[in-house]
Amino acid sequence: MSLAARTSPAEGEDGGAPGSEIAARARGSGEAFLIAGFGGIGDHVRCFALARHVARRFPGVAIDFLCRSPTDRLVRFVPELRKAWVDNTPHRALGLRQKLDLAQRLRSERYRRVYVVSRTYKAAIVPFLAGIPERVGWFGEGRLFLINQVRWGEGQIHGETEKVCALAREPGEVMEAILPPRLKVEPTDLYAWQKSAQAVPDGRPVIALAPGAYNVKRLWPAQRFAEIAAAFAARGFAVWVLGGPAEAQAARIIAAAAPVRDFTATPLEEAVFQAASANVLLGNDSGILHMTAALDVPCVGLFGPTVCAITGPSNACVREVRPPQGSLDLSQISMRTVEDALLMQISHLQHSMSTFSFTEQW
């Protein structure tokens, strides 16, 4: 398998837009829409799926993204998005002064519509203050005057990505098939990063490990990741560890077991290039897993207290691994089970990389 960047689907793959009156009005009007994201990296990546649905429904309309830092660094990789706005109001703070300033800047863009993904009233304040005429969102948290195009039935939708994408439909419409989020990395940009990071492919396949997650209950033990690193290094793989400063300790544990490249001190934008360079990724239910899946890189996701079909990536390239016998404890997942899942994900490499020891030990 080549280490070149995965590219987005061909033009026109998403199909045509429905012939609604709203779509007809938006086409060629020069109007722009806004998506107001929320939460962590994984939540924001789900919003990129909504961007695909909006782009299909309203072809030619510019779509911008309102988010928290550092997720704004991902927008350059989303084909459907034009630019990002950053709202870094501290968590649990109303931050009215900051919201007023941001709303004033948004007002100059003359957005026609905003999709407010979060159900909180705070998420709806900036779009309201910005005077965006059509404010679409789920019914929730005392904001009936802030959201003027309320969507109902959120509780009847199973997966989190499906809930986000359902905001794109008009009242009374049947939910269409979900378009999963996608990120696109240009091959020239990927090679430039590989060269600057001294990570140009040397012929070995790359396994990326993402040992982090925001909740400790979602963590597979770092020592198990270390065992995987040792096993795949012995099979001829280059082993990379992805994440942020919170994963530095796990990276040290993994590095004690095998030679690895530790990328936990690099910014999120570079993590996109790291993930795009990998042949397979192993990760907990985390933002890195969502981001890598959106790149269409084969992934093995470790799930215990959460379920992939609900909170995990909706991309088909993800294989879910769960604890045995209905347990929610990730530590009950054996190293051998994960190793087998990874080998299944990269089985298509067997013939193209037959010189490596991993094929001899199959």
Backbone angles phi, psi at 361, to 5 degrees: -100, 10
pLDDT digits (tens, 9 = 90+) for 311-343: 999 999 999 999 998 899 999 999 999 999 999
Cα 313 to Cα 103: distance, rounded to the nearest angstrom: 31
116 pLDDT band, cuts 50/70/90, is very high
Instruction: Name the residue type at position 258.
Output: A
Residue 3 has pLDDT above 60, yes or no: no
Q: Which of 328, 313, 344, 317 is nearest to 41 (CA)?
A: 313
Q: Which of 264, 276, 263 is nearest to 183 (CA)?
A: 276
Mean pLDDT highest for which of 1-5, 123-127, 346-350? 123-127
pLDDT the model gives residue 174: 83
Largest CA distance in the chain: 65
Q: 153 and 90, same structural domain?
A: yes
Domains in the chain: how many in total? 2
Average pLDDT, the chain: 88
Cα 43 to Cα 55: distance, rounded to the nearest angstrom: 19
Q: 86 and 28, same structural domain?
A: yes
Q: 248 and 347, same structural domain?
A: yes
Residue 21 has pLDDT above 80, yes or no: no
Q: 156 and 246, same structural domain?
A: no
Q: Which of 112, 104, 53 is nearest to 80 (CA)?
A: 53
Domain assignment present for 230? yes
Strand 238-241's sheet: what is its strand order? 261-262, 238-241, 206-210, 280-284, 299-302, 318-321
Beta strands 238-241 and 32-36 are unpaired
Q: 306 and 215, same structural domain?
A: yes
pLDDT the model gives residue 343: 97
Domain assignment present for 72? yes
Token readout for 250 is 């796990």
Residue 250 has pLDDT above 50, yes or no: yes
pLDDT, greater one: 19 or 291? 291
pLDDT the model gives residue 350: 55
Q: Which of 45, 47, 44, 59 is nearest to 14 (CA)?
A: 59
Domain residues for 91?
A: 21-166
Helix (H) or strand (E) holding 48: helix 41-57
pLDDT, greater one: 48 or 95? 48
Residue 1 has pLDDT above 80, yes or no: no
CATH of the domain at 55: 3.40.50.2000
Least confident of 90-94, 201-205, 276-280, 310-314: 90-94
Residue 14 has pLDDT above 70, yes or no: no
User: DSSP strand E in 37-133: where?
Assistant: 62-67, 84-86, 113-116
Domain assignment present for 14? no
pLDDT the model gives residue 127: 96
Q: 348 and 251, same structural domain?
A: yes
Domain assignment present for 4? no
Least confident of 26-30, 286-290, 321-325: 26-30
pLDDT the model gives residue 349: 55
Long-range contacts of 228-233 (CB under 8 A, 24+ apart): 228/282, 228/335, 228/338, 228/339, 228/342, 229/254, 229/257, 229/258, 229/260, 230/257, 230/258, 231/335, 231/339, 232/207, 232/258, 232/342, 232/358, 233/258, 233/259, 233/260
189 pLDDT band, cuts 50/70/90, is very high
pLDDT the model gives residue 83: 98
